[in-house]
């Protein structure tokens, strides 16, 4: 005899429906996919040699600059997406100080026109880690001047590309930029200094505030509705020793210092939505542990837990935690990034379904989640790790630049198309998924 009542059984088999108008998308960033961004600080840094773990350089990346049509077609037809998050490359548009490359603007305009034709709403990121080299020569984000340069760029973006943008993302992961460039020193400009790091954070918040005002003024004049926010790298945390007061204190400090600090410093009123990039779960022992080690990864003690190919712990429940935490601000939430690097696509499928189930619980519990952008549409240049980690729903063979959608792309596409997780997909959550998947793939490729 079953233990479930008929009603519970029905509920159990009902699809996990997402709110109407939910945005289903993927994300990319210009430098990681376009190729040939020779005026960027990263390009120069790569040429020094020895910085990129797998010995590659970004080079042609995945030639998205020329193949974006094919990529948008995949996003809309194969993945059934209705949204897309992309960035513009500042160093391409303003290759030297104050000089705009009008051809590059035209190219982005063509790109955005095509995205719209494919039915994709656009989240446009203004700054995604890379900078024009000329800006770095003037002190980059450490000097107040960046506010002038950045806002001038945003104004130009509004005038040239604003009509295509539904959601603006002023800065991608401001705190990660600072940690990697000024504390962990894994990325340029590799200047270890807490003082400089603090200045950079401050200037980022000033830039965001200025951009917020400017974009709203621009939209207001044109009677357009617009939404402005950032993509914030947020982590979930558990305490390593649950009775240790110090561990609790450390977790609270890291949580405030990482997940919330940008909102405090920039003012919550300058965020129309909360963009959350969710990858990390930390098991916190002490703040010193966190700072002493080179990166956040080791802090999670992830070796003992299931993790991606680059050692990041996979903890689907964490996306529920961060959404519920941020729901307290009473703002719309978008998951602006979430994904994993793996060569095992069955694992990718299981983890995606796991994350989306948890996201659905968060929605049921009242978090105002309006969209989810999986990272990433394509395999791409994974910063200082090079091309070895594969985050893409679509595989890219870099020799031929051929795109091949993985099965995970089909699964994600079916969820997006239905705006729901069908009960059928819950079978992928167990660990013995390979056989189930093979059977599923067979039946879906026959139809």
Note the residues at the interface with ligand BGC (CB under 6 A).
29, 32, 172-173, 176, 233, 277, 337, 375, 382
Q: Which of 32, 107, 115 is nearest to 70 (CA)?
A: 115
d(CA 159, CA 169): 16
**335 vs 437, beta carbon nearer ligand BGC:** 335
**114 vs 309, beta carbon nearer ligand BGC:** 309
d(CA 391, CA 347): 12
Rounded to a whole number of angstroms, the minimum distance from the CB of residue 311 to ligand BGC is: 12
d(CA 91, CA 193): 25
Rounded to a whole number of angstroms, the minimum distance from the CB of residue 111 to ligand BGC is: 19
Give residue for tokens 């991608």: 172
Strand 402-405 with 394-397, pairing: antiparallel
User: What number of other Cβ atoms are within 10 A of residue 132's Cβ?
Assistant: 24
**123 vs 239, beta carbon nearer ligand BGC:** 123
Rounded to a whole number of angstroms, the minimum distance from the CB of residue 231 to ligand BGC is: 7
**346 vs 382, beta carbon nearer ligand BGC:** 382
Rounded to a whole number of angstroms, the minimum distance from the CB of residue 125 to ligand BGC is: 9
CA dihedral for 419, 425, 429, 431, sign (positive or negative)? negative
Rounded to a whole number of angstroms, the minimum distance from the CB of residue 342 to ligand BGC is: 12
Helix runs in 170-193, H state only = 174-178
**176 vs 421, beta carbon nearer ligand BGC:** 176
d(CA 326, CA 93): 34
**18 vs 355, beta carbon nearer ligand BGC:** 355
Rounded to a whole number of angstroms, the minimum distance from the CB of residue 389 to ligand BGC is: 7
**108 vs 375, beta carbon nearer ligand BGC:** 375
**Measured torsion, CA atoms of residues 97, 262, 314, 304, in degrees rounded to the nearest 10:** 110
Rounded to a whole number of angstroms, the minimum distance from the CB of residue 340 to ligand BGC is: 9
User: What number of other Cβ atoms are within 10 A of residue 408's Cβ?
Assistant: 26
């Amino acid at each position: 005899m079953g233990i479930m009542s008929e009603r519970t059984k029905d509920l159990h088999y009902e699809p996990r429906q997402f709110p109407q108008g939910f945005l289903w998308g993927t994300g990319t960033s210009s430098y990681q996919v376009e190729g040939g961004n020779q005026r960027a600080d990263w390009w120069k840094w790569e040429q020094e040699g020895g910085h990129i773990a797998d010995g590659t350089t970004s080079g042609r990346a995945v030639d998205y600059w020329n193949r974006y049509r094919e990529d948008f077609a995949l996003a809309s037809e194969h993945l059934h997406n209705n949204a897309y998050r992309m960035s513009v490359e500042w160093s391409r548009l303003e290759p030297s100080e104050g000089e705009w490359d009008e051809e590059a603007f035209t190219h982005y305009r063509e790109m955005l026109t095509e995205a719209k034709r494919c039915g994709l709403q656009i989240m446009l990121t203004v700054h995604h880690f890379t900078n024009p080299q000329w800006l770095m020569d003037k002190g980059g984000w450490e000097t107040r001047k960046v506010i002038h340069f950045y806002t001038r760029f945003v104004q130009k973006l509004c005038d040239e590309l604003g009509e295509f943008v539904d959601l603006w993302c002023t800065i991608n992961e401001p705190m990660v930029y600072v940690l990697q460039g000024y504390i962990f020193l894994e990325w340029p400009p590799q200047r270890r200094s807490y003082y400089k790091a603090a200045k950079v954070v401050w200037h980022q918040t000033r830039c965001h505030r200025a951009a917020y005002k400017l974009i709203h003024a621009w939209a207001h004049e044109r009677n357009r509705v617009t939404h402005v926010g950032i993509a914030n790298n947020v982590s979930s945390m558990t305490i390593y020793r649950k009775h240790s007061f110090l561990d609790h204190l450390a977790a609270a400090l890291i949580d405030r210092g990482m997940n919330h600090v940008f909102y405090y410093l920039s003012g919550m009123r300058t965020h129309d939505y909360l963009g959350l990039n969710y990858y990390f779960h930390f098991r916190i022992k002490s703040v010193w542990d966190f700072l002493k080690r080179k990166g956040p990864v080791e802090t999670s003690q992830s070796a003992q837990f299931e993790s991606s190919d680059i050692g990041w712990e996979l903890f689907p429940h964490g996306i529920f935690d961060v959404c519920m935490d941020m729901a307290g601000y009473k703002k719309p939430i978008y998951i602006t990034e979430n994904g994993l690097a793996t060569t095992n696509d069955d694992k990718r499928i299981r983890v995606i379904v796991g994350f989306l189930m948890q996201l659905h619980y968060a929605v049921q519990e009242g978090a105002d989640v309006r969209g989810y952008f999986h990272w990433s549409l394509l395999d791409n240049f994974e910063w200082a790790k090079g091309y070895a980690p594969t985050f893409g729903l679509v595989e890219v063979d870099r020799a031929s630049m051929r795109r091949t959608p993985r099965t995970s792309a089909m699964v994600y596409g079916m969820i997006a198309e239905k705006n729901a997780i069908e009960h059928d997909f819950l079978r992928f959550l167990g660990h013995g998924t390979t056989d189930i998947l093979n059977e599923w793939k067979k039946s879906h490729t026959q139809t």
